[in-house]
Amino acid sequence: MNIIQIRTFVPSKDFDISKQFYQDLGFEILWSDHKMATIGTTTHNFLLQDYYVKEWANNVMLQMFVDDLDELYNRALPLMNKYEGSKIKPIFKADYGRTFHLGGPAGELWHMTESQNKKSTR
């Protein structure tokens, strides 16, 4: 089996607000129509849906690895006042590395994690 890509579908309570949330966070909208958007980079992306079921949205978890966790955290922090329902937990050390939890506007939970390949003095 030669896997080229695996993508997940992420719910949105308000499609336009979620698209703007992800853009403000630094993601790129690669493609969009009135019901779905491909968000991320050409090699790392997810599908945002104009679809919401509370029980599902509150159980969606994703993990993203970045080179500079502090930069992402500082970019995400001001969004908490802009997007109702979004949440953030301060950076902490987990078994899998430095991370912070970011809750999106629909209740989806991201584990934002610093790449283990980064040479860190922390």
Average the pLDDT over 54-78 and give the result: 97
Q: Residue type for 79, please?
A: L
As a whole number, the mean pLDDT across the chain is 95
Q: What are phi and psi of 62, to 5 degrees?
A: -135, 155
Instruction: Answer yes or no: are the C-beta atoms of 39 and 19 closer than 8 Å.
Output: yes
Q: 48: which 2 tokens?
A: 């945002």
**Which domains, and CATH codes, for the chain?**
9-114 (3.10.180.10)
pLDDT in tens, 70-98: 999 999 999 999 999 999 999 999 999 99
Taking CA 43 as the corner, what is the angle to CA 49 and CA 41, rounded to the nearest 5 degrees? 60
pLDDT class of 118 with cuts at 50, 70, 90 = low
| Cut 0.75: pTM above it | yes
